[in-house]
Amino acid sequence: MEVNVKADVKALTKELNRIQKKQIPFATANAINDTAVDVRTALYHKMNAVFHKPTSFTVPRNIEKATNKKGSLYMVPAKKDKLSARVYVKDMPGGKGAPAIRWLEPQIKGGGRNAKASERSLRAKGIIGGNKYITPAGVSLNRFGNVTQGTMTKILSGLSALQGALPGTKSRQSISYFAMRLGGKGSETGIWKRTGKHKIQKLFHVTNSPIYRPRLPFDAVGRSAIAKNFGPNFERQLKNALRTAR
């Protein structure tokens, strides 16, 4: 997912003289980069509006001072000899160990999602079917509405599905975990925990692929920010370039 910021400045510069026109590439690159920042800012504000308490891996705490190091978006700036900037969803592993595109793409395009690491572990151990997914039922969630890594590790350990654990390793927890089935393998309806002889609690539903409707109009937000901001950004940057030209 990306937005490209380019420019056609002929109409804005037709009255300039030859010397002044030499400043156009420099002013244009700066204006494109200012606009790319505006695009990124607009997208982060939209994420805040459509997602419930997004984590800092998705939206940085200080949107107006966002950089490439934090948040889910990356900006590649324009240069004088390459008048195009890019704003795109990070597609390399970040602070969560997974690329942001993995959880944002379904929100942008809709449809199903890729399996999470926990789901792949459960599938590999045969605890859920090879095409099954888990969604929260009674499991504890943090303030962002997510299952914490610590909680998931305990559950996977209790199910003997923790990646990297030595063969034969058993959980020392007093709580036991199990998958409930309607029939044979692949008919799982949920993952439960047992804390006593008669006390059980459903932690996850086991479902087919969750289907998401598009919630983040990535392209539309980007195009709107470009249309709104490039003209003013270019005029400001051109004035700066002409004032400092030698």
- Over the range 91-117, which residues count as b (16 or more CB within 10 Å of their CB) and which as e? eeebeeebbbbbbbbbbbeeeebebbe
* Domain match, 238 and 195 both: no
Q: What is the pLDDT of residues 88-137, one digit of tens each?
A: 999 876 555 678 998 899 899 988 888 888 999 999 988 998 889 999 99
* Domain match, 84 and 32 both: yes
Query: In 3D, which of 35, 14, 83 has the Cα closest to residue 225?
Result: 35
pLDDT, position 29? 94
* Domain match, 194 and 227 both: no
pLDDT, position 75? 96
Q: What is the pLDDT of residues 5-29, one digit of tens each?
A: 776 666 666 656 666 667 788 899 9
> Are 131 and 209 contacting, i.e. CB atoms less than 8 angstroms apart?
yes
* Domain match, 225 and 168 both: no
Q: What is the pLDDT of residues 65-95, one digit of tens each?
A: 999 998 999 999 999 889 999 999 998 765 5
pLDDT, position 225? 97
* Domain match, 60 and 96 both: yes
Q: What is the pLDDT of residues 150-198, one digit of tens each?
A: 999 999 998 888 876 656 566 667 788 898 888 777 788 899 998 877 7
Q: Which domain holds residue 219?
A: 2-109+212-244
* 73 residue type, one letter: L
Tell me how far apart the alpha carbons of residues 224 and 153 are, in angstroms, rounded to a whole number: 43
pLDDT, position 238? 87
What is the arithmetic mean of pLDDT over 42-59? 93
Domain count, the chain: 2
Examine the pLDDT at 228 and tell me if it is beyond 90: yes
* Domain match, 82 and 17 both: yes
The contacts of residue 232 (CB under 8 Å, 6+ apart) are none
Alpha carbon dihedral 54, 58, 59, 65, in 10-degree steps, equals: 160
Tell me how far apart the alpha carbons of residues 2 and 15 are, in angstroms, rounded to a whole number: 34
pLDDT, position 175? 82
* Domain match, 94 and 37 both: yes
pLDDT, position 144? 77
> Are 90 and 100 contacting, i.e. CB atoms less than 8 angstroms apart?
yes
Say which residue the tokens 């990535």 belong to.
Answer: 218
* Domain match, 9 and 99 both: yes
Q: Where are the alpha helices (DSSP H) in 100-216?
A: 100-109, 117-124, 149-158
* Domain match, 67 and 131 both: no
> Are 34 and 213 contacting, i.e. CB atoms less than 8 angstroms apart?
no
Alpha-carbon dihedral sign for residues 129, 135, 138, 140? positive
* Domain match, 130 and 39 both: no
* Domain match, 80 and 54 both: yes
* Domain match, 98 and 6 both: yes
